[in-house]
């Protein structure tokens, strides 16, 4: 968004989704005729790096990025990052068809008055969605998605990348990056081009209407994965102990009843552990307790998703029929969370598959992470895809 890409398609690129809770990294390389997922990793964001959703200390973020890249042995320098939709303005406008230079001037003129501060304090970018003939007078018109972010956010992320010895190439918006990855998935290919994407970031959730294969509307809610995990009393970690117990690798302990003083939550489990004696297990009980604590948040998320669908059903004279949703980001209880949201929306809800159509043979990949939490890396994957020339 802030910086243009090189015209040639580089061999490798690094996508960084820097949030207030987690920093995700995805490295993609272009081989002979195919794209290869070279590496995936994450690290907790230092607690004093952000104030709310605003990055206040790029140097601390740079240190965390460097540690993450070292731990994963990632050496790619060309990097792309993202700003979440709550820090941006995204809207669609229609203008008469004109030369590119004049088009940019018209976009700035049309949108400057509605920006939260003066134009000099914002960075503006746009994407042409389509060129069409007006049904009223048959004139040629262009539909444009405009994106505007406050310069301070973009500068802070760029500074963090430079201090981590990376070369910033572009800044994107999270839902656009996530959709770029999802366009390659079999879910999107089979279900169609009209959908809503639910992208749960650390401090916000982006609700994105996709109509005829293009981003047409973006709304951002001030609720993210940190709110979900705060309600559960959990840190945003992938818990190896939980994994082992869910897989039955700690023997009889998985069938223990739940002592009140040891009740804990398994926000990452995908199902219930069962006891041969018919008694509730540690994780069966914790899921019930956990979902009770998430009830209000999930209800609000479903209500706002439905409101967004209703608001985005009509684009001028075009009708948008949203029949399904794809959910990405970081959220607890996986399949159970998705099933609960599906019941509330009355729509099919599918987990994201950002690594579709990529070669996954790299020995550096953590197969369990890819299997259980691919949707957590959707935005970072979309950034890396753009970095190797996959713009759409």
Residue 385 · residue 182 · CB < 8 Å: no
pLDDT at 132 (0 to 100): 80
Helix then strand then coil, % of the chain, to nearest 5: 40, 30, 35
Q: What is the pTM of this model?
A: 0.80
From CA 178, how far away is CA 180, in angstroms rounded? 5
- pLDDT at residue 265 is higher than 50: no
pLDDT in tens, 25-46: 999 999 877 899 999 999 999 9
In this predicted structure, the answer to whether residue 240 has a pLDDT above a threshold of 70 is no
Return mean pLDDT, the chain.
Answer: 80
Provide the pLDDT for residue 215.
Answer: 84
pLDDT of 260? 44
pLDDT at 129: 73
- 3-class state of residue 224 by DSSP: coil
Quickly list H helices, the chain: 58-71, 100-111, 151-163, 174-182, 186-191, 225-232, 240-246, 282-311, 335-345, 367-372, 378-387
pLDDT in tens, 190-217: 999 999 999 999 999 999 999 888 888 8
What is the spatial distance between Cα 254 and Cα 39, in angstroms, rounded to a whole number? 33
Question: In the predicted model, is pLDDT for residue 136 greater than 90?
Answer: no
Position 306 pLDDT exceeds 90: yes
Query: Rounded to whole angstroms, how far apart are CA atoms 328 and 182?
Result: 9
CA 255 to chain CA mean position, Å: 36
Total count of residues recorded for the chain: 392
Please report which confidence band the pLDDT of residue 270 belongs to, taking 50, 70 and 90 as the band edges. Answer: very low
Note the maximum CA span of the chain: 75
Report CA-CA distances (Å) from 186 to 4, 244, 385.
30, 31, 17
Q: How many CA atoms lie less than 13 Å away from 225 in the CB half-sphere?
A: 26
Percent of the chain past pLDDT 90, that is, above it, reads: 44
CA dihedral defined by 147, 151, 156, 161, rounded to 10 degrees?
Answer: 60
Non-local (6+) Cβ contacts of 116 within 8 A are: 89, 122, 150
At residue 134, the pLDDT reads: 80
Band of residue 338 on the pLDDT scale cut at 50, 70, 90:
very high
pLDDT higher than threshold 90 for residue 328: yes
> Where are any strands of DSSP class E within 10-87?
12-18, 22-30, 35-44, 50-51, 54-55, 78-83
CA distance 166 to 18: 14
Domain segments of the chain: what residues?
A: 1-87+150-185+355-392, 89-145, 190-351
Instruction: Supply the CATH classification number for the domain 1-87+150-185+355-392.
Output: 3.30.420.40
What does the pLDDT look like over 50-107, one tens digit per residue?
887 788 899 999 999 999 999 999 999 999 998 876 766 777 778 888 887 888 788 7
* Range from 64-68, 91-95, 245-249, 292-296 that averages highest in pLDDT: 64-68
Q: Is the pLDDT reported for residue 224 higher than 50?
A: yes
Q: Looking at domain 89-145, which CATH architecture does it have? A: 2-Layer Sandwich (3.30)
Fold of 190-351: Nucleotidyltransferase; domain 5 (3.30.420)
Do domains 1-87+150-185+355-392 and 190-351 share one topology? The answer is yes
Judge whether 60 and 158 are in contact, CB under 8 Å: no
Q: Which residue from 126, 102, 122, 104 is spatially nearest to 114, judged by alpha carbons?
A: 122
| Interval 368-381: pLDDT, tens | 889 888 999 999 99
Mean per-residue pLDDT, 151-174:
91
């Amino acid at each position: 968004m802030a910086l243009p890409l090189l015209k040639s398609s580089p061999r490798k690129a690094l996508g960084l989704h820097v949030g207030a809770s987690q920093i995700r990294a995805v490295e993609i390389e272009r081989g002979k005729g195919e794209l290869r997922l070279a590496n995936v990793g994450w690290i907790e964001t230092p607690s004093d790096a952000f104030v709310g959703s605003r990055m206040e200390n790029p140097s601390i973020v740079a240190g965390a990025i460097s540690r993450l890249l070292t731990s994963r042995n990632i050496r790619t320098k060309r990097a792309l990052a993202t700003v979440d939709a709550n820090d941006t303005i995204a809207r669609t406008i229609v203008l008469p068809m004109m030369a590119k230079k004049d088009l940019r001037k018209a976009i700035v003129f049309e949108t400057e008055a509605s920006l939260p501060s003066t134009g000099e304090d914002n960075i503006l970018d746009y994407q042409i969605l389509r060129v069409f003939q007006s049904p009223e007078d048959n004139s040629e018109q262009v539909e444009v998605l405009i994106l505007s972010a406050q310069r301070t956010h973009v500068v802070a992320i760029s500074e963090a990348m430079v201090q981590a010895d990376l070369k910033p190439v572009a800044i994107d918006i999270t839902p656009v990056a996530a959709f770029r990855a999802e366009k390659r998935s079999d879910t999107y290919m089979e279900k169609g081009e009209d959908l809503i994407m639910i992208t749960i970031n650390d401090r916000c959730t982006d609700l994105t209407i996709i109509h005829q294969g293009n981003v047409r509307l973006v709304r951002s809610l001030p609720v993210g994965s940190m709110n979900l995990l705060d309600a559960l009393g959990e840190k945003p970690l992938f818990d190896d102990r939980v994994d082992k117990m869910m897989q039955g690798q700690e023997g009889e302990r998985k069938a223990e009843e739940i002592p009140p003083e040891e009740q804990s939550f398994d926000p990452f489990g995908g199902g219930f552990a069962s006891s041969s004696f018919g008694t509730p297990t540690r994780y069966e009980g914790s899921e019930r307790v956990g979902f009770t604590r998430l009830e209000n948040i999930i209800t609000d998320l479903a209500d706002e998703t439905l409101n967004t669908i209703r608001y985005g059903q009509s684009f001028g004279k075009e009708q948008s029929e949203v029949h399904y949703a794809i959910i990405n980001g970081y959220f607890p209880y996986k399949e159970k969370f998705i099933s609960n949201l599906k019941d509330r929306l009355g729509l099919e809800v599918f987990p994201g598959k950002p690594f579709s159509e990529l070669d996954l043979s790299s020995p550096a990949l953590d197969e369990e992470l890819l299997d259980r939490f691919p949707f957590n890396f959707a935005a970072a994957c979309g950034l890396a895809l753009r970095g190797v020339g996959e713009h759409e």
